[in-house]
Structure 1
Amino acid sequence: MMFRTLDGTCNNLEKPMQGAAFRQYIRRVRHFPPQYDDGKGEPISSIIPSRPTARESNRVMLSSAQMVPHDKFNNMMMQWGQFMSHDMAKTTLQPSAQCTSCAPVRSKCMPIPITLKDPNSAFKQKQCLKVSRSAPICHVTPREQLNENTAYIDGSMIYGSSPKDLHKFREGRTGLLKMNRFNNQKLQIVLPFDQSKCPHKDKCTASFTAGDIRANLFIGLSSLHILFAREHNR
């Protein structure tokens, strides 16, 4: 094949579906199966409490005020790692609208309880953090997850992983990526704004449209998306 396919199919001609978009994640360490409390799909420690909650672990491990500077790398090292991970993986989630209470909804919602020891008073008032679970692969036990992106380093986060993405991001027949001039400034060329967040054509929330919907998570991540889109069009 001279050119890659959008969904990653036929990248490996002997195994044409390997690494394609919308396929099951493959666990590389087969001697260590997924750990579920019931052996099928209930999250670890959800039935038999055996571990601290995700919030408690996060609070304890990341609560240090001490700064540890690195003599070689800065925060962009982390940001590049996130950018590349978004090229290879995007887990499908259950609709968050289904998770509106602190009561767990089997197979769909996994609320994280907030303990009385939590120093964040706002968190305590919420009583829990409402979290959607990853969507399961149908008819597979134990529960496995779906990858929406191709598993290859092929620019999925820039170009998308489906023909629908192609028409969403490409500029007509030129092959260029769609861009937008911020406040009509010639030199401030950025990604297009998400039109679903534009109450009026002249008033948009600064939420960019890119090959991966997570492009707006951090300013550094958005910067890399803009940089690579500009480089494609250069």
Structure 2
Amino acid sequence: MNLPTPSSWLIAAVTLLPLVAQAATVQVTVLGRDGKPLPDAVVVIEPTTGARPAAPAPVSAVINQQKMQFVPGTSVLPVGSKVTFTNLDTREHHVRGMPAGLASLNAGTQPGFELRLSGKVEGQAPASAETTLTQAGAMQLGCHLHGSMRGFIFVTDSPWTLVTDANGVATLQGVPEGAAKVRVVHADQLLEGAPTTINITPVTALSLPTQVQPRRRRP
């Protein structure tokens, strides 16, 4: 049997190096319809070459109902994650989770959930309830009892998903170099815009305008 020589191993390794995608840093600035930075926008990067990346592992998360708001207002959670809703207000609240945007018109065939939480009583633990997010996509949170209460969950199967900060910026690490699509999803859009095609280099920065006009939030 003829064994490969060390030199042949080296040649093979050098030949394969260009096929290995290098990790890059991608900074995305999202702008609203008025041209100003758009906070709480969900940025999703989806490489279009190579094998599909493994989905992120499920986590456990808590979303509070406090001062007539969902806190945090926008969450990104992997498929399979468990979410505990806790009512910190003295008023009774309801939790309704359903597909966001135009998908809500066909909500009968989409996964959703409804919970009811009693108001907090002094000296007692606040009421809470748990649900598991089984399908990727955007979900709108609401309360049947208080129409002004709105929240948003983006259930993701991509490891490169992040919410923009107060400056409208999302910085994603470890993204493979090469061709990719960038999606932007926001709680206040009815229809998701077309993805943007980019070529990711070791350090990539881009600015993405949208037609999103954020609603005014309760103080």
Range of TM-score over shorter length: under 0.3
Q: From the two aligned structures, give the one with the greater helix fraction.
A: 1
TM-score (norm 1): 0.23
TM-score (norm 2): 0.24
